[in-house]
C-alpha cells in the first residue's frame, strides 16, 4: 500500500511539473471568464433552474423521448440506431464506413466517440480518421488523451504545440505564434475535410420534437464536417435528448458561459439532418451537386450504461450533465493537475467519477475519486445544479464496500466504532474515526501530543496510515471546550432575548478550543444566553472518506443531542463551516424530514449569527474593533472557507469586520488545498501544498504581507499556518472581548 501511495505521489508530482502550469493558467482563465459572464446574465439562477427542470423531465421520460427522436429523425429522412454499448455502436459505424467504402473520415470534437474509442475502430476498418477540432488535432498528432472536457489540450502550451507541429509537419517556415499554428491547422484540416467520405460529430443536444442536433463549437469545424461529406453520422449519449426545440434556449445561454466564460461561442449550429444543402465534391468542376437528396444521416444513440445510471438513484443526476467543464475549472485540485490525473478512461474533473463509474465501471472511477475533496466549490458553478461532491462520496462509499478484507484490519478492530465493512483502507478508517482519536488525544494530553510527534511515531504513521511526515499534527487540548464551559463560573444573562447552543465541533472541542471560548465570550457580550452541551461530531470526517453509513449514524446522534435545545427555542451557532454545510446540506440525505429541517433552519455560522444580532439592533460596543484590537492591526487579510462560500456566507464575516472598523481584503482562490484529511495524506501532500501556494501568494503581496491573517475553517488555518510565517487566527478571536481564561 505504501508503495502504491508513493507511486501516486510520483505521478502527481510529474504531471504538476510537466502540465500543471498550462492547466492552471487555462483553467483559471476559463474560471475568471465564467464569473464575469454569468454576472452579466440577468436571471442566471432562473436559467439554471429551467435547465435543471428540463433535464430532470427528459431523463424521467427518456424511453419515450428516444422513440420520439426516432420518429422525427426518420420523418426528416435520417436513420436512428440505439446502441447498447460501445461494441454495438462501433460495429454500426464501421459497417457504414465499409458499405460506403469510406477512405477518409473527419470528426468534430466528441467525448462520446472518445468513450467508445471510435477512431481506433474506424482505423481498423482502413479509414484515415482526422480530428478537425484544433485541440483534438493537437492530441491526435501528439498521440495523447484529452485532459479536459471542453479544451482537450489544455495541458499543452503554445510553445509545446509549435514544437510538435514543426517536428511532425516540417513547414517551410517554422510555426511560432498562435495565429500561425491555427492557420496551419485550418489549412491542413481543410484539405482533409475536402477529401472526406464521411463526417462524424457528437451532439450537445438532440431535440425530440424536431430531430435537431445542436453543436456548440468555437471553430466552425463541426459545420464543415456536417456539410461537406455526403454521409453524416452523429454519435450521442441517450441523455443528450431534450424534449423540444424551445428547450434549447437556457442551455445555449448557459453552456458557453459555464465552460469557457464566453457569453456565447462562435458557432452554435442547429441542424435537422439530413441537411438540405447539397453535398460538396471538390474534385468536380461543379462541386455543388444538384440533388440535396444524396445526403445520408445516421444518429447513433448510445446507451453504454446510461439506462442503468437512470435506474440508479445515486448516479442518475450525472445524466443531467451537459459536459460544460465548469466543475473542473472551479476545482482547486484540477487546476493543479488537470484531467490526466483527475480523470478516468474518458472523462475528467469532479463529475468524471459519475461518468466513469456509469459507463466504464467502478474501477475506472476508483483511481482518481479521492481527488474530489468535497470542498463543494463546483456545486454553485454547475449550470444544472448537480451535487457533484455527493456523487463522488457515493462512488467512494461503493469502493469502500467492494474492498477485500485487509491484512491489517486487526490493528483497528474495536478502536473504530464505525459502520463500515472489513477491508476498508486503513488510512480512510483512521481519518473517518477522528472523533475517537480526538477523545483519546485530549484525555491523554500532553503525552498524546508528545508521543505522536516522536520520529518513530511519525515514521510508523507514514508507513501504515500514509500520513505525511512533513505535515504538522494537531495538538490536542487536555481540557475540551465543553469541559471549559462546564467548569466556568460565569453567571448566565438573565431574561436574554436570544438563546444559542454553540456547537462543539470536533476541532473546536479538542484542538482549537480558543475559537470556541471566543465565540462564547462574543455571544454573551451581545446578550445571548449560551449553552455548550456535549454533542456528537457531525460526521464530516467519515463522510469525507466515503463512510456514509457511519456519517449517517453521527447525523442521528447530533440530531438527538440537539433536539431538546431546538424544542426549547435555542438557535445553533456553528464555528466550523464544513459542519454547518453538513447541517444544511448532507443532513438532508442523511436525516431527511422534519429533523433535518428544524436543524438546518435554526443553524447559523457564527458571523452570520453576529451579523443578525447587530442588524436587529444589538449594540456592537462590547466587541473589539480594529482600533482597539490588541496585538493585531486593523488591516485584515481574510480567507473564507470553501463551503462557507458555497453557502454564500462569506459576506457576513466581512460585513461585521467592516462595521467594527477593520479594513478587510479577501482571497479569491477556490480552496486552501488542505481540505480536512486530504493534505495529510502522503500521496496528496505536495498537491495540497501546490494548491495552497496560490492562496499563500495572495497573502504575500505588497498590499497583504503586513495584514493580520484570518480564516474561518480549521483546514484553512492549518494550511495558512504551514504556508506563512505569521500565524493565522479565526476571525471570532479578533472581535471577541478579552477574557480571563
Which segment (81-89, 382-390, 446-454, 725-733) binds ligand SF4 by CB under 6 A? 382-390
CB atoms within 10 A of CB 455: 8
Query: Which of 69, 181, 299, 327 is in the footprint of ligand SF4 by CB under 6 A?
Result: 327
Please say which residue, 335 or 559, places its beta carbon nearer to ligand SF4.
335
Please say which residue, 185 or 384, places its beta carbon nearer to ligand SF4.
384
Please say which residue, 20 or 349, places its beta carbon nearer to ligand SF4.
349
Please say which residue, 66 or 328, places its beta carbon nearer to ligand SF4.
328
Please say which residue, 389 or 504, places its beta carbon nearer to ligand SF4.
389
- Shortest Cβ 254–ligand SF4 spacing (Å): 9
Please say which residue, 155 or 323, places its beta carbon nearer to ligand SF4.
323
Of the CA atoms within 13 Å of residue 235, those in its CB half-sphere come to 30
Question: Residue 299 — φ and ψ, nearest 5°?
Answer: -105, 115
Please say which residue, 382 or 548, places its beta carbon nearer to ligand SF4.
382
392 closest CA partner among 303, 336, 433, 331: 331
Backbone CA torsion sign across 634, 635, 641, 646: positive
What residues numbered 2-41 form the site for ligand SF4, per CB under 6 A? none
Please say which residue, 328 or 536, places its beta carbon nearer to ligand SF4.
328
What residues numbered 712-741 form the site for ligand SF4, per CB under 6 A? none
- Shortest Cβ 258–ligand SF4 spacing (Å): 6
Query: Which of 241, 321, 371, 502 is in the footprint of ligand SF4 by CB under 6 A?
Result: 321
Contact (Cβ atoms closer than 8 angstroms) between residue 105 and residue 127? yes
Please say which residue, 317 or 418, places its beta carbon nearer to ligand SF4.
317
Cell of 122: 474506424
Alpha carbon distance 682, 463 (integer Å): 9
DSSP 240-279: GEES-STTHHHHHHHHHHHHTS-SS-SEEEEE-SSPSSPP
- Shortest Cβ 151–ligand SF4 spacing (Å): 13
Cell of 508: 473546536
Contact (Cβ atoms closer than 8 angstroms) between residue 540 and residue 373? no
Question: Residue 407 — φ and ψ, nearest 5°?
Answer: -70, -25
Task: Please tell me whether residue 252 binds ligand SF4 under the rule CB under 6 A.
Answer: no
Query: Which of 140, 325, 376, 397 is in the footprint of ligand SF4 by CB under 6 A?
Result: 325
- Shortest Cβ 23–ligand SF4 spacing (Å): 16
Contact (Cβ atoms closer than 8 angstroms) between residue 711 and residue 720? yes
Which segment (319-327, 643-651, 705-713, 724-732) binds ligand SF4 by CB under 6 A? 319-327
Query: Which of 138, 236, 386, 606 is in the footprint of ligand SF4 by CB under 6 A?
Result: 386
Contact (Cβ atoms closer than 8 angstroms) between residue 295 and residue 197? no
Please say which residue, 221 or 318, places its beta carbon nearer to ligand SF4.
318
Query: Which of 62, 216, 322, 675 is in the footprint of ligand SF4 by CB under 6 A?
Result: 322
Please say which residue, 82 or 151, places its beta carbon nearer to ligand SF4.
151
- Shortest Cβ 223–ligand SF4 spacing (Å): 24
Alpha carbon distance 476, 188 (integer Å): 65
Task: Please tell me whether residue 324 binds ligand SF4 under the rule CB under 6 A.
Answer: yes
- Shortest Cβ 391–ligand SF4 spacing (Å): 9
What residues numbered 402-421 form the site for ligand SF4, per CB under 6 A? none
Contact (Cβ atoms closer than 8 angstroms) between residue 588 and residue 652? no
- Shortest Cβ 384–ligand SF4 spacing (Å): 5
Task: Please tell me whether residue 152 binds ligand SF4 under the rule CB under 6 A.
Answer: no
- Shortest Cβ 115–ligand SF4 spacing (Å): 14
- Shortest Cβ 150–ligand SF4 spacing (Å): 8
543 closest CA partner among 409, 428, 426: 428
Alpha carbon distance 632, 238 (integer Å): 59
Please say which residue, 45 or 627, places its beta carbon nearer to ligand SF4.
45
- Shortest Cβ 199–ligand SF4 spacing (Å): 26
242 closest CA partner among 74, 115, 110, 68: 68
What residues numbered 362-381 form the site for ligand SF4, per CB under 6 A? 381
From residue 721, alpha-carbon distances to 699, 724, 726 in Å are 12, 6, 7
For residue 456, give every residue at least 6 positions away whose Cβ sits within 8 Å of its Cβ, in sequence order, or none. none
Task: Please tell me whether residue 388 binds ligand SF4 under the rule CB under 6 A.
Answer: yes
Query: Which of 86, 241, 382, 482 is in the footprint of ligand SF4 by CB under 6 A?
Result: 382
- Shortest Cβ 501–ligand SF4 spacing (Å): 36
End-to-end CA distance of the chain: 45
- Shortest Cβ 349–ligand SF4 spacing (Å): 6
For residue 240, give every residue at least 6 positions away whose Cβ sits within 8 Å of its Cβ, in sequence order, or none. 203, 204, 205, 206
Alpha carbon distance 681, 674 (integer Å): 10
Beta bridge partners of 205: 214
Beta bridge partners of 217: 267
- Beta-sheet strand order (sheet of 603-605): 528-531, 498-502, 571-574, 603-605
- Shortest Cβ 66–ligand SF4 spacing (Å): 21
Task: Please tell me whether residue 319 binds ligand SF4 under the rule CB under 6 A.
Answer: no
x/- mask, ligand SF4, residues 91-130, rule CB under 6 A, reads ----------------------------------------
Query: Which of 384, 461, 709, 734 is in the footprint of ligand SF4 by CB under 6 A?
Result: 384
DSSP 428-440: HHHHHTHHHHHHH
Alpha carbon distance 481, 474 (integer Å): 15
Task: Please tell me whether residue 383 binds ligand SF4 under the rule CB under 6 A.
Answer: yes
From residue 515, alpha-carbon distances to 337, 386, 404, 405, 571 in Å are 34, 34, 42, 41, 18
Query: Which of 155, 323, 639, 641 is in the footprint of ligand SF4 by CB under 6 A?
Result: 323
What is the dihedral angle through the alpha carbons of 157, 670, 354, 267, rounded to the nearest 10 degrees? -50
Query: Which of 315, 326, 551, 672 is in the footprint of ligand SF4 by CB under 6 A?
Result: 326
What residues numbered 328-367 form the site for ligand SF4, per CB under 6 A? 351
Contact (Cβ atoms closer than 8 angstroms) between residue 671 and residue 701? no
Give the total of residues touching ligand SF4 (CB under 6 A).
16
Alpha carbon distance 682, 472 (integer Å): 13
Question: Residue 681 — φ and ψ, nearest 5°?
Answer: -75, 135
From residue 611, alpha-carbon distances to 206, 341, 508, 657, 667 in Å are 48, 42, 21, 10, 21
- Shortest Cβ 216–ligand SF4 spacing (Å): 13
- Shortest Cβ 117–ligand SF4 spacing (Å): 21
Task: Please tell me whether residue 599 binds ligand SF4 under the rule CB under 6 A.
Answer: no
What is the dihedral angle through the alpha carbons of 34, 37, 42, 47, rounded to the nearest 10 degrees? -40
Q: Given the rule CB under 6 A, which residues bind ligand SF4?
A: 149, 258, 321-327, 351, 381-384, 386, 388
Amino acid at each position: 500500500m505504501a508503495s502504491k501511495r508513493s507511486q501516486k505521489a510520483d505521478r502527481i508530482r510529474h504531471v504538476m511539473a510537466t502540465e500543471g502550469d498550462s492547466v492552471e493558467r487555462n483553467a483559471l482563465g476559463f474560471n475568471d471568464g465564467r464569473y464575469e459572464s454569468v454576472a452579466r446574465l440577468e436571471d442566471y439562477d432562473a436559467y439554471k433552474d429551467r435547465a435543471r427542470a428540463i433535464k430532470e423531465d427528459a431523463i424521467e421520460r427518456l424511453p419515450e423521448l428516444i422513440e420520439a427522436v426516432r420518429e422525427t429523425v426518420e420523418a426528416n429522412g435520417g436513420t436512428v440506431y440505439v446502441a447498447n454499448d460501445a461494441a454495438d455502436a462501433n460495429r454500426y459505424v464501421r459497417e457504414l464506413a465499409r458499405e460506403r467504402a469510406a477512405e477518409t473520415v473527419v470528426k468534430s470534437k466528441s467525448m462520446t466517440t472518445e468513450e467508445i474509442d471510435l477512431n481506433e475502430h474506424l482505423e481498423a476498418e482502413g479509414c484515415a480518421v482526422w480530428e478537425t477540432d484544433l485541440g483534438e488535432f493537437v492530441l491526435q498528432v501528439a498521440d495523447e488523451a484529452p485532459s479536459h472536457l471542453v479544451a482537450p489540450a489544455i495541458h499543452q502550451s503554445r510553445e509545446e504545440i509549435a514544437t510538435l507541429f514543426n517536428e511532425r509537419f516540417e513547414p517551410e517556415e517554422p510555426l511560432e505564434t498562435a495565429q500561425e499554428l491555427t492557420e496551419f491547422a485550418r489549412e491542413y484540416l481543410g484539405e482533409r475535410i475536402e477529401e472526406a467520405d464521411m463526417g462524424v460529430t457528437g451532439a450537445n443536444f438532440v431535440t425530440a420534437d424536431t430531430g435537431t442536433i445542436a453543436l456548440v463549437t468555437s471553430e466552425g469545424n463541426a459545420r464543415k464536417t456536417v456539410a461537406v461529406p455526403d454521409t453524416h453520422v452523429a454519435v450521442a449519449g441517450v441523455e443528450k435528448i431534450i424534449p423540444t426545440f424551445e428547450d434549447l434556449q437556457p442551455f445555449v445561454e448557459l453552456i458557453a458561459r459555464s465552460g469557457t466564460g464566453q457569453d456565447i461561442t462562435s458557432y452554435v449550429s442547429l441542424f435537422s439532418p439530413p441537411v438540405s444543402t447539397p453535398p460538396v465534391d471538390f474534385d468536380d468542376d461543379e462541386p455543388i451537386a444538384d440533388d440535396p437528396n444524396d445526403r445520408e444521416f445516421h444518429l447513433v444513440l448510445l446507451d453504454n450504461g446510461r439506462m442503468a445510471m437512470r435506474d440508479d438513484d445515486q448516479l442518475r443526476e450525472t445524466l443531467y450533465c451537459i459536459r460544460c467543464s465548469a466543475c473542473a475549472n472551479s476545482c482547486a485540485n484540477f487546476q493543479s493537475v488537470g484531467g490526466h490525473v483527475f480523470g478516468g478512461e474518458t472523462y475528467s474533473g469532479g463529475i468524471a467519477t459519475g461518468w466513469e463509474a456509469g459507463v466504464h465501471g467502478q474501477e475506472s472511477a476508483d483511481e482518481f475519486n479521492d481527488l474530489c475533496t468535497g470542498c463543494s466549490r463546483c456545486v454553485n458553478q454547475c449550470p444544472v445544479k448537480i451535487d457533484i461532491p455527493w456523487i463522488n462520496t457515493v462512488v467512494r462509499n461503493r469502493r469502500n464496500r467492494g474492498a477485500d478484507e485487509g491484512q491489517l484490519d486487526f490493528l483497528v478492530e474495536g478502536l473504530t466504532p464505525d459502520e463500515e465493512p472489513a477491508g476498508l483502507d486503513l488510512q480512510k478508517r483512521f481519518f473517518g474515526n477522528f472523533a475517537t482519536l480526538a477523545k483519546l488525544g485530549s484525555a491523554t494530553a500532553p503525552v498524546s501530543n508528545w508521543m505522536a510527534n516522536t520520529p518513530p511515531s511519525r515514521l510508523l504513521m507514514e508507513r501504515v496510515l500514509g500520513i505525511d511526515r512533513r505535515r504538522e499534527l494537531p495538538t490536542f487540548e487536555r481540557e475540551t471546550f465543553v469541559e471549559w464551559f462546564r467548569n466556568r463560573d460565569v453567571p448566565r444573562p438573565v431574561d436574554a432575548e436570544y438563546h444559542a447552543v454553540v456547537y462543539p465541533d470536533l476541532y473546536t472541542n479538542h484542538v482549537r478550543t480558543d475559537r470556541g471560548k471566543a465565540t462564547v465570550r462574543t455571544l454573551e457580550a451581545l446578550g445571548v444566553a449560551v449553552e455548550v452541551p456535549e454533542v456528537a461530531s457531525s460526521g464530516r470526517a467519515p463522510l469525507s472518506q466515503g463512510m456514509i453509513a457511519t456519517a449517517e449514524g453521527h447525523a442521528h446522534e447530533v440530531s438527538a443531542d440537539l433536539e431538546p435545545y431546538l424544542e426549547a427555542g435555542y438557535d445553533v451557532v456553528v464555528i466550523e463551516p464544513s459542519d454547518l454545510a453538513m447541517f444544511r446540506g448532507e443532513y438532508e440525505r442523511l436525516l431527511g424530514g422534519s429533523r433535518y429541517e428544524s436543524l438546518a433552519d435554526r443553524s447559523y455560522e457564527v458571523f452570520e449569527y453576529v451579523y443578525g444580532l447587530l442588524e436587529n439592533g444589538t449594540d456592537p460596543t462590547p466587541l473589539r474593533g480594529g482600533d482597539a484590537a490588541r496585538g493585531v492591526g486593523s488591516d485584515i487579510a481574510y480567507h473564507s472557507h470553501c463551503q462557507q462560500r458555497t453557502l454564500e456566507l462569506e459576506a457576513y464575516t466581512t460585513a461585521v469586520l467592516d462595521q467594527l472598523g477593520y479594513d478587510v481584503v479577501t482571497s479569491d482562490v477556490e480552496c486552501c488545498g488542505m481540505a480536512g484529511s486530504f493534505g495529510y495524506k502522503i500521496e496528496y501532500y505536495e498537491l495540497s501544498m501546490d494548491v495552497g501556494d496560490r492562496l499563500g501568494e495572495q497573502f504575500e503581496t505588497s498590499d497583504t504581507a503586513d495584514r493580520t491573517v484570518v480564516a474561518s475553517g480549521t483546514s484553512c488555518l492549518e494550511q495558512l499556518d504551514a504556508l506563512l510565517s505569521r500565524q493565522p487566527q479565526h476571525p471570532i478571536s479578533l472581535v471577541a472581548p478579552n477574557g480571563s481564561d
